[in-house]
Structure 1
């Protein structure tokens, strides 16, 4: 029996990472699947008439070991992978998808669930129990329980293939990211780059036993390069490589995989009686239907497009005046935007970074959480971790009671995917009178400290940290009975509210005063910098909104219709971008082939939710602003009705309880300067 299948004999039941070997995973998964099946069999074999407790609740607590192993394994697969783990993932994913289907397509189990569901109106259930019952029933009906046997088998095959190829998609993107290096040996090609970026590139080159400097497609290397490098040809080289991931007609090409994923999702939706994958997905979202999402996106587009067109014309004129650029290209955007921003606001990241030392920003997030929700974060060393870079914390409430365990993993490395995310190693739930507290983690890719400098964040990275920390608070403050409704287990277009609302504190002088101190002198960030941060917050907001909307519309195009007529991925994409494109197309590039959010993550038919949640967050933060950004009464309402409730009730019900009304889009348009 693997260590993974037993109760962990560790502090706070934390994962014993250092004791787990790669070869433990496969047998652990197999054993956990077998025992989860036994639990299900005993629910089915129960001679008593099906009721909420012996069927719905019993299912809610079944498979706990399998869930735990899955979360440990797949979190490491994202944050600390290697060839061996990738191979295991390819073996394990079909097993899990097969097991999921064994449950969802089990007629006897569904008969019991349906028997309880059919008497829903006569049962005396809490709001959370009603939600659990609805979710359990839908997890069957939306996954083929009402299908004939041959169609059930068809569904199994689709799910098996989907789980394998979406993994393959992600592995190809990772391989392409690692395959490219820009090796510079002439110092004049570094012109314009910040010294921290140059130093990191030098250290990377040395670690690869190369002379000079090496730049990669990892965000902390790529973003500063295309933003600051004066050498236009090299910016072009980097940008084209970045945009060509999965589109190189090589062994890592994702074109066929994207078409296949879209086709399989469509087939699956049709099999279940839905018009398209988007119709299937959106039934369980606040937005409800593709028509509503497209209306929402196009509505915003109409409001943002005039601003975006004006901003783009201003940027093009600036590039022409500055360097005689006749045609603004994609590799010019970040570079000239940064220069124009400096000219308009005299504010650049290099000026701001000394005030945003990573440790100070993290402590700032902790202080904000303490002032709003009474939480205390204490770094602890007695908790096992999966990499030396990871930091571990105990989170306690004002009375010293344990609220959560918090892991923070901040720096890029081989085997860690790009971007930033929040995840959990253990959910919160209540069983046998014990409130099991969650183990929550945030994973980012910030610039590593060098020999001469600590990790100094760009302002964008500061908001990223607060964003992920907002998700983390949603997980940490969870207070529900059932694990499947806890924390961030909410409708997908609601999940970004806690994360996006927390970003607002990064723009407030009162909050910045808590953590924005110069790393050498300790001086607080000058008030004029804060004013400029606020003023520049809506700089090129039209362009940024158009970009987000273009991704949302592309997602809906892949998933809101029959994709079988699409033979040329690039031509299809170009057509979808026609209404939102500002820059000329780059023939070597495609978006979909590395659009991991929708082809590997859970955002298919859901990318719009970033903008949807922005409407919620602007409206929610307006409430804080009216009462004071550290107002404990508003914070208590936010905690009680949003953060602690997870997915126990419909999000609009929860939101209205907090806010007293439905969200108003005007707050967002006002904040973005689009009104």
Structure 2
């Protein structure tokens, strides 16, 4: 998790972010016996150094958007230093307040700290993900360790924790409303889980571990970006482009040269692997993808091992069996053993189906297939069984029209309006939309999208924010939310046409965006996107269900040239094939989830014995009988979710959340109306508006009326019915 998310809600969220660190409860020692173990160096920053710095000015542009054109690389470090100095002063003012601790002078005051630092870090964290360069890469290595140190200084400030605890101990007598009580509960909980109650020696060691982990995660992410950019599959013979569409060939054509270059973006990778007839080229791209960042200057294998070792050590200092046991304590699964049990329940039918899929492909191929053949021959089987080729759909999924469809779904469900507005973005590719309450016209937030791949941008798709929502002291601030994807840039003058998978991803990330936009929580610490990944992925994944509904397709899926609505015959073929290849998709996902959990279930003693990341992976895969032909979706060297992001011991969450989203959408289907206003109102109130107002289990039950079952998940994947081969 980047510091831009850590600082959500000021210095209080420095502690909230330490849920990525460790913490176990222990009664605090008397002040005479304990002192903060974090020695903070003095930071001197003059007014002259800050002159003309846009981070020190009030942003008066439309919607409060950062003045991107004015922000230069050299502005970040001075603004960060000044923000740290100001935050330290704010913390000191709370600690040295002679008055007895109260909710207002301690908890609320803590929630308001660090705002000028947050202003810088949100921009820095977002820009380094979308438009990085060598200077910003170097700054990441300097700034993030500084912020980790400041985070630990807040966490391990004994006087500050004593004040927080004093307020918490009298919580039942304070007459707090629900949101105030929740802010108090979460602030105290996260201080404790970050280690605020531990002995000074343990705190000092944890602070050192946190600093090492921060540096390694930054290096891991930079290695992956550099290794990804370093690989290109170059093709000089046009005869070897057989099977690829004209759009794809135009997109990978090297300007001004008679050659084509395919990179490792997932959109490029899957498009090439599914269509390219040249088996040798498929093998080369496949090897490039699965071996990225696994050797040479950008080898992430040793970093993965070291991160697992440091996290295991930190967890043991906190009194936990492993990092996974620490992390999952506050998740819906609660224990890694429960997460493993769940994964195995889904893996068993997934492996069975995958074996059937492999047999079908080998029958068509006439020979044994290997890993680099799977995508290609699975498309052949799809066409044979269902007379369906995904490329038939692309002309009906033009990017802007698909956004219109997603916006229409959200408008019908949540009674909002979404209109494009002219706002200068961080890149010329960015588009912006204002989101309003349709009934009152109230501004709910700004939604900014950055859809195309480029070398300065990290891979994948994600949601982030430039500003959180809050409503403190009568100042109502609404969020600025972003969605990012890595679509192939079309040739000049050509439309951006999406695959079904890319349409689904667009709806997914928009679901995250809505979670951030619709929030009605007044404290940034738990407004918007809040909760562990096994819940946070529910709002995004439930939105995926609407894109392929015939009623919804009729709204937006029109041929980009003729305007013809997508034919129902094609929709039926698509839906009939919806569970196709689920054995492969389920197995590759669970394989990665198992690798993640087993990395983070290691004790420090076990982690110390690991010498090869690849050998460790293979041992895990063999344990669960994952066939060699199916690569895990991520190997350890490019598993940024868990080694450079906030999903360590949590990648399983996407599948866990599928229990929720399948069950949640089932409520609409069972009602006979996918826009049922009564169900949609509950979904809006208890999921998209509530942030972290209550525990995630309770929020889901308030929406659905009961706990979810696994049956809708299995049914949606085609495991609760005969397989295509049997059918």
The residue correspondences of 1:471-490 to structure 2 (distance < 5 A) are 471-490=512-531
TM-score (norm 1): 0.96
The residue number in structure 2 matching 1:547 is 588
**Superposed displacement of residue 586, structure 1:** 8.4
2:98 maps to 1:77:
no
The residue number in structure 2 matching 1:48 is 99
**Superposed displacement of residue 361, structure 1:** 0.2
- Secondary structure class of the residue paired with 2:211: helix
- Secondary structure class of the residue paired with 2:533: coil
The residue number in structure 1 matching 2:456 is 415
- Secondary structure class of the residue paired with 2:487: coil
2:471 maps to 1:424:
no
Q: Distance in 2 between matches of 1:129 and 1:74?
A: 29
The residue number in structure 1 matching 2:87 is 36
Q: Distance in 2 between matches of 1:319 and 1:644?
A: 51
The residue number in structure 1 matching 2:299 is 253
- Secondary structure class of the residue paired with 1:273: coil
The residue number in structure 2 matching 1:635 is 680
The 3 A distance-change label for structure 1 pair 514 and 277 is same
- Secondary structure class of the residue paired with 2:251: helix
The residue number in structure 1 matching 2:663 is 619
2:191 maps to 1:191:
no
**Superposed displacement of residue 357, structure 1:** 0.5
The residue number in structure 1 matching 2:22 is none
Give the counterpart of 2:611 among 560, 567, 570: 567
**Superposed displacement of residue 584, structure 1:** 4.0
2:453 maps to 1:402:
no
Q: Distance in 2 between matches of 1:640 and 1:661?
A: 16
Partners of 2:588 and 2:631 within 8 A in 1: no
The residue number in structure 1 matching 2:36 is none
Give the counterpart of 1:494 among 507, 511, 535: 535
2:335 maps to 1:289:
yes
The 3 A distance-change label for structure 1 pair 526 and 585 is closer
The residue number in structure 2 matching 1:3 is 54
Q: Distance in 2 between matches of 1:284 and 1:384?
A: 39
Q: Distance in 1 between matches of 2:601 and 2:321?
A: 8
- Secondary structure class of the residue paired with 1:59: helix
Give the counterpart of 2:487 among 434, 441, 446: 446
How many residues are matched? 663
Partners of 1:128 and 1:649 within 8 A in 2: no
2:359 maps to 1:341:
no
TM-score (norm 2): 0.89
The residue number in structure 1 matching 2:282 is 235
The residue number in structure 2 matching 1:393 is 433
2:261 maps to 1:220:
no
Give the counterpart of 1:503 among 536, 544, 549: 544
Q: Distance in 2 between matches of 1:607 and 1:380?
A: 36
The residue number in structure 2 matching 1:606 is 650
Give the counterpart of 1:275 among 321, 324, 328: 321
Deviation readout 1:341-371 (Å, 9 max, x if unpaired): 1111222222100000001001111111111
Q: Distance in 2 between matches of 1:586 and 1:352?
A: 27
The residue number in structure 2 matching 1:384 is 424
2:581 maps to 1:537:
no
- Secondary structure class of the residue paired with 2:194: coil
Q: Distance in 1 between matches of 2:265 and 2:655?
A: 25
Q: Distance in 1 between matches of 2:85 and 2:399?
A: 44
Partners of 1:406 and 1:441 within 8 A in 2: yes
- Secondary structure class of the residue paired with 1:367: helix
Deviation readout 1:496-549 (Å, 9 max, x if unpaired): 111101110112000010000000000000001111221111112122112211
- Secondary structure class of the residue paired with 2:455: coil
- Secondary structure class of the residue paired with 1:251: helix
Partners of 2:247 and 2:490 within 8 A in 1: no
Q: Distance in 2 between matches of 1:45 and 1:84?
A: 39
Deviation readout 1:455-476 (Å, 9 max, x if unpaired): 0000110001000001000000
Give the counterpart of 1:352 among 379, 393, 414: 393
The residue number in structure 2 matching 1:364 is 405
2:178 maps to 1:178:
no
**Superposed displacement of residue 148, structure 1:** 2.4
**Superposed displacement of residue 130, structure 1:** 3.0
Deviation readout 1:399-430 (Å, 9 max, x if unpaired): 22111111010111120011100111100111
The residue number in structure 1 matching 2:308 is 262
| Structure 2: unaligned runs, 5 residues or longer | 1-49, 721-727
| Structure 1: unaligned runs, 5 residues or longer | none
2:706 maps to 1:661:
yes
2:715 maps to 1:670:
yes
